[in-house]
Chain A
Amino acid sequence: MIEQLIIEGLAIGACYGLFGVAVAIIYKTSEVVNFGQGEMGMISTFVAYHILAQYGLPFWLAFLITIVFAILLGMFIEFFFMRPAKDPTVLGLIIITLGAEMLLMGLASWKWGAEQKDFTFPLSVQELHEPIPGFVLNEWSMGVFILTGLIMVMLFLFFRYSNLGIAMRATQQNQNAAKIMGIKVERVFSFTWGMSSLIGAVAAMFFAARSVLDPNFMMEPFMRAFAAAVLGGLTSIPGVVVGGLLLGIIENFFGYLWPVWKPIVAFVVIIIILTIRPSGLFAKHYVKKV
């Protein structure tokens, strides 16, 4: 029983972590928490659903088209909503993401209606495997673990070795200095949004396969992913994933012992941790100087 609780907690936690990474990537470069992240993932998932249901394409093709769509969507929002903002304050930018969220939510509900849809996903939650005796894994969680690992390795290599990744880190550290060094900061922002939207879309598809697809399905996961990201420390990407895993385990253990308090236990733990470590578990605490 306990090992199953751990596996389930880790699987859903990895999903939160993956989505939290999408939030963290944008936060790292621009200090903006993107409240539209959930709905960006939601609409990408709906696009995949639409392609599958209307045109009957194979899943991998629909997946690829969706990925391209997600990247374009992220860049679109950055280019048309974030970039034109004049003398933006961080709070102003956050409100812009909220406006984008309402816009996307409205469009999706207008187009697909509110009724729940089934999202056919190749990795089923019902196919059980037992790689190590005693540890029962379903295909879905295996997919989550493999994908999270893969994306983490890719992100690590990307930020470490690719020019674009280094440019992103430079932009994050000091925008003006990066500009002077010849980095097109605006282009970096575009890529950031595209990348974040991509990761968000992949995570959203996993969420949809586990629950149901409707225009509201990403609200709750977004909140938890955001919380997980904060728990791990928003600026450290491995930290965010660890935060997600921790959140999943905490919720499942407490949820098993006291089901009544499951929805809020994670938040209480996070508040306690934040009072001890104000910048999350893994981020370096930034000490302000005058």
Chain B
Amino acid sequence: MKGTRSLVFWLMAVGVALALPVQSHAGAPGFDDKEIRIAQWGPQTGPAAPWGSVARGSDLIFKMVNDEGGIHGRKIKYFIRDDQYNPAQTKAVVKELVERRGIFAFVGGVGAACGMAVKDYLAENKVVWVGPSTAINEYVFPVNPYLFGIYPLYEDEASVLTKYVVEKLKVKKIGFFYQNDSYGKSGLTGCKQRLDTYKMSLVEEIPVEPGEKDLSSQMLRFKNSGAEVVIMWVNPTTATIAVKTCATIGYKPQWVSSNTLSDFPLMNTITGGLWEGVITGGFGVPPDSDHPLIVKYREAAKKYAPEERCGTFYLAGVLYAEPMIDALQRVGPNLSLEAFLNALNTTKDFQGIGPKITWTPDVHQGTDSIQIQQCGPNGSYILLQDWVPNELATWKKM
């Protein structure tokens, strides 16, 4: 009895292991006459899983392209791999994709450390990477010939937002609440850079660890400092707790935040309506607008992915893939790595649902422009300011 049970169990375990598919496409260039293989990693499970919709969003536009006949006769074969937001796993899945499947290009890709872990590997293997889903200076400075950044740098975004706060809202007392990592710190740098030009300084700056669930003491500090505007550079969960906590202690500053928190319908629901009035940066056209492309994507999402909520992150996945498809279209039927790189390097003022993107062989940071949006009633979007670049951006002067 004892033996049989464990034997059966063991057989099951072995069976599962054998059931793994072993199929290989290993085509070195990553494309052939029928298909172009494109991939993305993204956390589909684990603590960062809400960002997973970015990778699934890119799937939408590839499906649309394929249904319209592909790119010059080639279909796009798209792979998504779950890395659980863990750089060790990102490297594992990226190696598997590149060496076993043969990948032409990567698109998107969430996670600063995850991207840093595979950045050099991708460049060594001459795999193009377009539109990392996070802004890290190390990605684009110095120029990496295979990496093309779209996401506006957090410094630029914070700088533009701070300018808006000081000049339009005419606020003197500003607090800054940031996640203790490269995302939050870049935001802080940008904000301070801007404030220096006005000879102003922050009344309070408080870091937070990403997983913290009790923020009472931090919020009380902001209340005590008398900040009228609190700029926050944190993740959605932390932001929700912060806003709720402030409501409990009777403190109502004007919240300003990065585009990471610009998914208003979601934020408004999970904060129980407290998100109304919050101002954020925006790096894509709002999902509820009547921009022709957005309308097209919304319709497509209903058809191809009825389960998905067509929110900011989902559309971000589309946004990262747009310039890549544009470049592939321009290359024409004679696809090659050099031709593709050349097409990307000559992208000038391309605009989809994001800002205008320009890449030259010397600058691979595509943009520094953001919109400024405000959350209206029921999570609707109010556009406060259209695309504005950061005139202080240090990298443009190089």
Q: Do chains A and B touch in the complex (CB under 8 A)?
A: yes
Interface set of A (CB-CB < 8 Å, partner B): 1, 4-5, 8-9, 12, 86, 106, 109, 114-118, 120, 124-126, 128, 136, 138, 140-141, 207, 210-217, 219-221, 248, 251-256, 259-260, 262-263
CA distance A252 to B218 in the complex (A): 8
B239 closest partner in A (C-beta): A212
| A109 in contact with B49 (CB, 8 Å) | yes
A105 closest partner in B (C-beta): B45
B337 lies within 8 A of chain A by Cβ:
no
CA distance A78 to B276 in the complex (A): 45
B44 closest partner in A (C-beta): A114
B51 closest partner in A (C-beta): A114
Stretch of B17-25, B59-67, B152-160, B264-272 that contacts chain A: B264-272
Interface set of B (CB-CB < 8 Å, partner A): 2, 44-47, 49-50, 52-53, 180, 206-209, 211-214, 216-218, 220-221, 223-224, 236-237, 240-241, 244-245, 247-250, 266, 269-272, 274, 309
| B241 in contact with A211 (CB, 8 Å) | yes
Q: List 13 A-B contacts (CB under 8 A).
A: A8-B248, A9-B217, A115-B50, A115-B266, A117-B269, A117-B270, A126-B247, A136-B249, A211-B240, A217-B213, A252-B216, A256-B220, A262-B209
A8 closest partner in B (C-beta): B216
Residue among A109, A114, A128, A256 making CB contact with B217, cutoff 8 Å: A256
Residue among A4, A12, A117, A216 making CB contact with B214, cutoff 8 Å: A12
Q: How far is the CB of A144 from chain B (nearest CB, A)?
A: 12
| B214 in contact with A116 (CB, 8 Å) | no
CA distance A253 to B218 in the complex (A): 10
CA distance A213 to B221 in the complex (A): 26
| A115 in contact with B309 (CB, 8 Å) | yes
Residue among A207, A210, A220, A252 making CB contact with B211, cutoff 8 Å: A220
A252 closest partner in B (C-beta): B217
A residues in contact with B249, CB < 8 Å: 4, 8, 136
A interface majority secondary structure:
helix
| B221 in contact with A214 (CB, 8 Å) | no
CA distance A125 to B47 in the complex (A): 25
Q: Which 4 A-B pairs have the closest CB atoms?
A: A114-B49, A255-B217, A8-B216, A256-B217
CA distance A208 to B299 in the complex (A): 34
B residues in contact with A216, CB < 8 Å: 46-47
CA distance A214 to B177 in the complex (A): 23
B residues in contact with A141, CB < 8 Å: 248
A residues in contact with B274, CB < 8 Å: 126
Residue among A216, A248, A259 with most chain B CB within 10 A: A259
Residue among A86, A128, A212, A251 making CB contact with B237, cutoff 8 Å: A212
B residues in contact with A255, CB < 8 Å: 214, 216-218
List 6 other contacts, CB 8 Å, given A114-B52, A212-B237, A263-B209: A5-B220, A106-B45, A115-B266, A125-B248, A126-B247, A216-B46
